[in-house]
Structure 1
Amino acid sequence: MKFRAKIVDVACLNHFSRVVTTISKLTKSCVLRLTPDNLFFVMSGKVANGGVSMWCELAQANFFDEYQMEGVSAEDNEICLELTPENLSRALRTLQNAKVLKVKLAKKHCPCLTIAAELPTLSSVGKVVTHTVPVDVIPRRLWHELKEPSMPDFDVSIYLPPLKTMKNVVDRMKNLSNFLVVKANLNGEMNLKIETDLVSVSTHFRDLGNPPWGDDASQDGGPSQSRDPDSMAEARVDIRRLQQFLMGQQINPTKAMCNIVHQKVVHLILLHEDMSLQYFIPAVA
């Protein structure tokens, strides 16, 4: 296995750093899956068992000026590495002013990603700083757990309000309850509600719009066209999970959407021209 890549463009480096920082807010550990065309950050918790799962896909050509990899074999041309995204995020944050940043899969005392950056200096002598991020190589027999999650057969799909506004609402609600009910319908309405023995608080968003998942969405994994547009689908979720996702405002998505499987799961999606992030939060009773 071999992997090396280089970023020269500062805007690409900063964008990549923001993506990794967002991932680090969502999970303490994930798998970095490398293919010839894409990078994936994967957290494969079993939603059916109450776990959260995540799938983030980046087109490597939009981030890296050079990108070379050789997988475990010609037939299985991939590399899967388990890592702590906070370690990678911390390294990238300290190197944001780099003129050139190089990433390489190496083996020292253990497998690791070495991140070397050439930093600007006042003298003619360049300054190179290197960070080491430990990784575990995922064996081929476990790769079946790292597949892209299928689109759930949701009841309602809706565009999210501005993430910063939504985050401010959720941050305030978190002080009152550990759980939040997300409701939405096909008329572009969304409600966020908490209810305890002492207090009931609800925030209403209108005119958000509903994504067009095909002309006959009921055959494309989308909501049935026969559903009453005013009927609310809802799911009660751990408010901390939703709060973590809303940190995603750092990557300035062009679209942010929410699919709800009634009383089962909230499926959140951030889209950018060069990346996509999916986050699944299971409902709790």
Structure 2
Amino acid sequence: MRFRAKAVDFTCIEQFTKVVSIIAKMTQLCVLRLTETKLFFILNDKVAKGGIWCEMNASNFFDEYRMDGVGEDANEIYLEVTPDDIVRSMKTAHAAKSVKIKLTKKFSPCLTFEIELASKTGQSRNVVHDLPVNVIGRKLWNEYKEPSVPDFDVSIHMPPLKSVKTVVERMKNLGTYVEVSANHSGEMRLRIETEHVTVSTHFKDLEVAELDNGDSQTQRRDMSTMYGAKVDIRRLLLFLAGQQLHAQRIVCNIVDERVLHFYLIQEDVTMQFYMPIIHQ
């Protein structure tokens, strides 16, 4: 197995760091899947920590990219990585001339980051980080397939995340869980309910993604019906605080009392998050 990538554009280096930083806020351990043209960061534990599926086009981040997997019929590599280790390594890449990432064999399999920095004397100096990784065998690859998307009760475009984050930060002082709900009239509601108080905030006139399935029953649905799911307010804040990508579109998908799914779409990366649901 071989993997080597090189980035020289500062914007690409910065964007890659932002993506991994978001993932590091959501999980301590995940899987990095490498294919001939793409990179994926995957966490498939929807029950305990929620699911993460991040897809990145290699050509949008790296000037050079080469990967040789386990064989012609399975030209992929799966590595268990610690995202926070990658973030710490990339912090030294501020104003770097280039960043090289390689799969190496040292004391154990490692992702090696070679960061070329310019000095005041005009001479370059290199900083090297060896990050231990676990190579995942082919028989386990099926566990890291893209999550199947259920038939959502409602799909709604999110309001500005800064506004949502401000509301949720105030709510965290009142309780532990927050219900996120929406309807087909373009309304989203954040509600926290305790023995002593119930507080809710409403966002209106949001764009709703309607599925044209030809079902007349669906077309006649009650547009005001709210579909929602309750989640840990701290995990929702982690998601909101980590959004530095300025995504072109963020869609919130809800299966009533079962699934809360966020889908972020940007030109060079797409990210999916499944929030663990609280059943009470």
Fold conserved between structures, TM > 0.5:
yes
For 1:165-204, what aligned pairs fall within 5 Å after superposition?
165-204=163-202
Q: What is the deviation of 1:212?
A: 4.4
Matched, 1:227 2:224: no
Aligned to 2:213: 216
Q: What is the deviation of 1:50?
A: 5.2
Aligned to 1:24: 24
Out of 234, 240, 243, the residue aligned to residue 249 of structure 1 is 243
Counterpart residue identity of residue 37, structure 2: D
| Residues 50, 153 of structure 1: alpha-carbon distance in 2 compared, 3 angstrom cutoff | farther
Unaligned runs of at least 5 residues, structure 1: none
Q: Is the 8 Å Cα contact of residues 28 and 86 (structure 1) preserved in structure 2?
A: yes
Counterpart residue identity of residue 99, structure 2: L
Secondary structure of 2:62's counterpart equals: coil
Identity of aligned residues (%): 49
Counterpart residue identity of residue 235, structure 2: R
Counterpart residue identity of residue 36, structure 1: E
Q: What is the deviation of 1:125?
A: 2.1
Q: Is the 8 Å Cα contact of residues 17 and 89 (structure 1) preserved in structure 2?
A: yes
Q: Is the 8 Å Cα contact of residues 12 and 61 (structure 2) preserved in structure 1?
A: yes
Q: What is the deviation of 1:190?
A: 0.3
- Which whole-Å CA distance do the structure 1 matches of 2:44 and 2:195 have between them? 35
Matched, 1:262 2:256: yes
Deviates more, 1:257-266 or 1:169-178: 169-178
- Which whole-Å CA distance do the structure 2 matches of 1:257 and 1:93 have between them? 30
- Which whole-Å CA distance do the structure 2 matches of 1:211 and 1:13 have between them? 33
Out of 269, 275, 279, the residue aligned to residue 273 of structure 2 is 279
User: Could you list the per-position Cα deviations for residues 125-148 of structure 1 after superposition, in whole angstroms to 9, with x for gaps in the alignment?
Assistant: 211111121111011111000000
Q: What is the deviation of 1:247?
A: 2.5
Q: Is the 8 Å Cα contact of residues 185 and 208 (structure 2) preserved in structure 1?
A: yes
| Residues 145, 36 of structure 1: alpha-carbon distance in 2 compared, 3 angstrom cutoff | same
Count of equivalent residues? 279
Counterpart residue identity of residue 236, structure 2: L
Give the alignment's TM-score, normalised by structure 1: 0.94
Q: What is the deviation of 1:97?
A: 1.1
Q: What is the deviation of 1:152?
A: 1.5
- Which whole-Å CA distance do the structure 2 matches of 1:216 and 1:31 have between them? 35
Counterpart residue identity of residue 237, structure 2: Q
Segments of 4+ moved more than 2 angstroms: 215-218, 223-227
- Which whole-Å CA distance do the structure 1 matches of 2:218 and 2:271 have between them? 25
For 1:1-285, what aligned pairs fall within 5 Å after superposition?
1-45=1-45, 47=46, 49=47, 51-213=49-211, 215-216=212-213, 224-285=218-279
Q: What is the deviation of 1:211?
A: 2.1
